[in-house]
Amino acid sequence: MIKLGIIGGTGYTGVELMRLLALHPVARVEVITSRSEAGKPVAELFPNLRGLVDLVFVEPAIDTYRDCDLVFFATPNTTAMSQAEALLAAGIKVIDLAADFRIKDIPTWEQWYGATHACPALVEDAVYGLPEMNRAAIGKARLVANPGCYPTSVILALLPLLANDLIDPASIIADCKSGSSGAGRKASLGTAFGEVTESVKAYAVDGHRHLPEIREVLRSLNADADLVFTPHLMPMVRGIHATVYATASGPADRVQTVYEDYYRDEPFVDVMPAGSHPETRSVRGANVCRIAVHYLPAANRYVVLSVEDNLVKGAAGQAIQNMNLMFGLDETTGLEAPGIMP
């Protein structure tokens, strides 16, 4: 049995990790921490876990995780980087669901996150946890940087096009929509029900922290890659819908086959039939990115539609997929449940 710890278990990604891991056949959460809720039973805060999780929140401390094989950081940015070295030195593997190890260029990370990186030497060792790109490296990793939710949807939308040189890599536009849970569980006016419902708004148009993450990954595939990325807040709790545009270069008559072939053996990427329009509700609760590709002859552009649950394939589910790979398991283990409808 793989023994797990979750640091920061009171947010949406923390409870989603517990929900998904509660029925995992070969992994068990042994420790879950929270400074604010220490001493409180997990099921008291999250009643959906009654009868499944009998743990109590405890104060975070290195000794707390000594018996763990792997620790998930479901914490705000800049938390994992202050503790990862000690955990790794103790032989404990780490998956960070925040952004501390996602961007390899330290000055870029420090510019966007407004902090001095506490352990830049570990950044080079960290593996970017997108299995569809880095499966072999993840299997050998001791430190995995779980991708952001927006980056997962955008990068998966673009991989077949970039890999086959089918687009002008500098022409990419990513128009993305997210549910309010992407902002986290902490109360704020901007994500209150009365502010979000019956309304749609763009935000961070002049620069979102996921932009340099997406750009760096795309440039690892094509040095000329660049994009405009605009996120929007939608009146829903879960889900991301990315509409990705790029100018075509080369014949477009086989693009559907290109996508189907590229993702044929990927258990958590579903390429829909030609002409489809995937919906966020179809992936709610599932570790799936559902994709449809369209070509507009008059504009000579591809339009790729990509949907995922931001808390599952965009966060906790993908983290468990990475954990499975790190321990030599079938990566689908514990993640086979379909989406919830309606």
Selection from 191, 190, 282 nearest residue 236 by Cα: 191
pLDDT tens, residue by residue, 211-229:
999 999 999 999 999 999 9
The strand pair at 70-73 and 2-7 is best described as parallel
* CB within 8 Å of 193: residues ≥ 6 apart: none
pLDDT tens, residue by residue, 21-54:
999 999 999 999 998 899 999 999 999 999 999 9
Q: What is the pLDDT of residue 250?
A: 81
Strands across the sheet containing 27-33 = 27-33, 2-7, 70-73, 93-96, 143-145, 127-128
Peptide bond into 47 cis (omega under 30): no
Q: What is the pLDDT of residue 181?
A: 83
In residues, how long is the chain? Answer: 342
Distance CA 206, CA 271 (A): 32
| Amino acid in the structure at residue 287 | N
Q: Cβ–Cβ contacts within 10 Å for residue 301, how many?
A: 18
C-alpha distances in angstroms, 296 versus 59, 262, 304?
55, 21, 11
pLDDT tens, residue by residue, 135-159:
999 999 999 999 999 999 999 999 9
Q: DSSP string covering 189-214, please? A: GGGSHHHHTT--EE--TT--THHHHH
Question: Residue 81 CA to chain centroid, in angstroms?
Answer: 18
Peptide bond into 297 cis (omega under 30): no
N-to-C CA span, the chain: 35
Tokens 């996150």 sit at which residue? 113
Task: Tell me, yes or no, if 149 is annotated catalytic.
Answer: yes
The pTM is what? 0.96
Q: What is the pLDDT of residue 187?
A: 61
Its CATH architecture, for the domain 2-125, is: 3-Layer(aba) Sandwich (3.40)
Question: Residue 82 CA to chain centroid, in angstroms?
Answer: 21
Q: What is the CA radius of gyration of the chain?
A: 20
Domain(s) of CATH 3.40.50.720: residues in the chain:
2-125
Both tokens of 170, joined, read 């500098």
Q: Could you tell me which CATH number the domain at 149-309 has?
A: 3.30.360.10
Distance CA 309, CA 280 (A): 7
Q: What is the pLDDT of residue 261?
A: 98
Distance CA 91, CA 110 (A): 28
Domain(s) of CATH 3.30.360.10: residues in the chain:
149-309
C-alpha distances in angstroms, 228 versus 157, 175, 204, 322?
15, 8, 12, 29
Catalytic residue (choose from 68, 119, 149, 176): 149
* Helix (H) / strand (E) containing 228: strand 227-233
Both tokens of 148, joined, read 């952001």
Q: DSSP string covering 163-175, please? A: HTT-B-TT-EEEE
Work out whether the CA dihedral 111, 105, 319, 33 comes out positive or negative.
Answer: negative
Distance CA 152, CA 289 (A): 8
Q: What is the pLDDT of residue 262?
A: 98
Q: What is the pLDDT of residue 213?
A: 98
Selection from 7, 32, 14 nearest residue 316 by Cα: 14
Ranges of the chain whose pLDDT falls below 50: none
Distance CA 87, CA 73 (A): 11
Q: Cβ–Cβ contacts within 10 Å for residue 261, how many?
A: 13
